[in-house]
Amino acid sequence: MKQELLFSGVGGQGIITLGEALCDAAIKAGFNVTFVPFYGQEKRGGKTMCNIVISDQVESPIISGTDLMLIMDEQSLSDYQDLMYDSGTLVINSSMVEKEPVCRCADIRKVPFYDIAQQLGNSKTSNIVALGYLARLLPMVPYDLIAAEVEKSFAAKPKLIPLNLEALRKGYELES
């Protein structure tokens, strides 16, 4: 089993936090994981992206394409959609991306992660809503392990843990 993932957005959307939580949960589930983050020097608003490989064997951290891609902003769609495998799944934050993808992939899903996060009371949780949604698409990584990593990610800000766990659950319960 090998899954090549790419998550992209802009700084401040929590792409790296989302990727780290998923990677840590996948490691705890017994998989070999590589994580390659990329972010510009801007504190907020610059390009942010991470490549993740989850496998039952040791793999290269360099992806050749993606089985699953999360796009949180319009520029990321333009930049990365060509990396989709024909059999892959492209998940688009429809709250922020109006442009139609032109890649050939088996499955395109548009989900309003930002709008859902706003309904929960904090738009900054859109990345965790997206992580919950992705958890449904990656059943080899148990939801409980992902939830534990989300909780750990916010350990320094314990007041945010219940909201983020609710955001994770909300994303997980969305129709996929």
> What's this model's pTM, rounded to 2 decimal places?
0.93
Number of domains in the chain: 1
Cβ pair 129, 117 in contact under 8 A: yes
Q: What is the CATH number of the domain that holds 116?
A: 3.40.920.10
Distance CA(133)–CA(81), nearest Å, equals: 19
Question: Tens digit of pLDDT for each residue in 35-94?
Answer: 999 977 666 668 899 999 999 988 777 888 999 999 999 999 999 999 999 999 999 999
Question: Tens digit of pLDDT for each residue in 129-154?
Answer: 999 999 999 999 999 999 999 999 99
Q: 86 is in which domain, residue-wise?
A: 2-172
Q: Long-range contact list for 107-112, CB < 8 A, 24+ apart? A: 109/176, 111/174
